[in-house]
Amino acid sequence: MLRIDRIANLLPERIRDRLDPYLEAIGTMAEVGDPRVLRSLGPPGVRGMLLKRGKQGVPTLIPASHKAFFDWTYPHDHPEMEELYRRAKQGQWDGETYLDWSTSVDPMNPELALIPEGFVDFTAVEKYGIKLSPQEQMQFRYSLCAWMLSQFLHGEQGALFAAAQVTEAVQFFDGKYYGATQVVDEARHVEVFHRYLDTKLNRLYQVNDNLFVIIDALMSDSRWDMKFLGMQIMIEGLALGAFGMLYQSTREPLLKELLKMVIQDEARHVHYGVLALREYFTQQLSESERREREVWAFEVALLMRNRFLAYEVYEEWAEGKLTRAQWREVMNLAPGMEAFRRTMFSRLVPNLREIGLMSARIQPAYERVGLMRYFHGAAADKITGQQMIRELDAAA
């Protein structure tokens, strides 16, 4: 990576900026040290970051191959999953009637702002000679919020398909019952996020390349536990953090209610992921296999931490005015993005610990990137969706 950076620095700024997406993609992959992890993330990385498969219109076909696990004896083999299934059935809600879709949403109304004024620090942009009027700042926040919700929507589509796949592949029969409820939950999430974007914000951004890479990697991996790890722990963890942050900060009532309902479903999904993987990772895998997953999870966590930087909004607002490197700096310093990363990792890291992917060997790597401070938090099996909402309300 360093060598690529040094060569790039010799190029004129304009050319360097044009090459930046490719240099960034190559840099990301060059950082992955473990060859097994590179084999798993490499091809999705090429498809997502270099070929931009997620941005080429419909359809995107991702080959999936996994074993469907049948059991003709229908055992009740996991009491905690059985209980989760019961709770999931009782927690169902209808996105069409439960939410008040007659609410009129004005993304430019400062009284009911989608995201708060302090979400982006505009003085950081002024440093580069760009001064936005209060009206333009509002427009910008509207774009950023629509971008975040679009990524939630794309993530939900991935979750819908992944939930269907893991329902086939999981080896617990109680897990299959539970998994079916998650498929319905995710379909509802796609429904409500799409309806909100389509009818209230009138915007839809394309899928972020890095999100595409993670979705592609877990859809095409034939190992059921990698699907679980990718979707139920990593992407769901990311979603929970992001939903929580937005729930806390938005003043738009329909969005707030929508997020509150989705968060309660998502809390069950992550709980299920922890249950399914804890025993498998800590008791059934060899140390070398466990190690591979541990490194994979760390690399994906880094991908989410460093690379989820709203380039799709950059292309709309700042291309030609800021370089991509300057944009990265603005986004990294945005207080809202910092809050987003904080809530995301405070949820994710305890879950990784709980499923046995935070051994003493990997902890220094987390320490280096400042994520060890979340190590002692409560994992998803210890906290319900309602508790999560209460905590978010109390901290707001």
Residues that bind Fe ion (CB under 5 A): 156, 159, 186, 189, 236, 266, 269
Q: Which CB atom, from 109 or from 387, has the smaller least distance to Fe ion?
A: 387
Q: Concatenated DSSP letters for 45-96?
A: HIIIIIS-GGGS-SPPP----------TT-----HHHHHHHHHHHHT---TT
Residue 141 vs residues 269, 308, 370: alpha-carbon distances, Å: 30, 16, 28
Minimum distance between the CB of residue 266 and Fe ion, rounded to whole angstroms?
5
Q: What is the DSSP letter of 319?
A: B
| Helical ranges in the chain per DSSP H | 2-9, 13-31, 35-45, 79-90, 122-126, 134-169, 173-195, 209-220, 224-227, 236-249, 253-279, 287-306, 311-317, 324-333, 335-354, 363-368, 385-395
In the complex with Fe ion, the residue whose CB is nearer, 46 or 187, is: 187
Contact 9, 16 (CB under 8 A): yes
Nearest approach in angstroms of CB 189 to Fe ion is 4
Shortest distance in whole angstroms from residue 273 CB to Fe ion: 9
The distance of closest approach from Cβ of residue 190 to Fe ion in the complex, given in angstroms and rounded to an integer, is: 8
| Least separation in angstroms between CB 340 and Fe ion | 17
Q: Which residue lies nearer to Fe ion by CB, 156 or 225?
A: 156
Q: In this complex, which beta carbon is closest to Fe ion, that of residue 167 or of residue 326?
A: 167
Closest CB to Fe ion among residues 27, 91: 91
Contact 380, 271 (CB under 8 A): yes
Q: Decide whether 240 or 330 has the Cβ nearer to Fe ion.
A: 240
Rg, the chain, Cα only: 21
What is the dihedral sign for C-alpha 240, 242, 248, 251?
A: negative
Q: C-beta of 186: minimal distance to Fe ion in Å?
A: 5
Q: How far apart are CA 349 and CA 368, in angstroms?
A: 14
Measured from the CB atom, is 95 or 107 closer to Fe ion?
A: 95
- Find, among 211, 354, 339, 360, the residue nearest to 270 by Cα: 354
Q: How far is the CB of 232 from Fe ion (least distance, A)?
A: 8
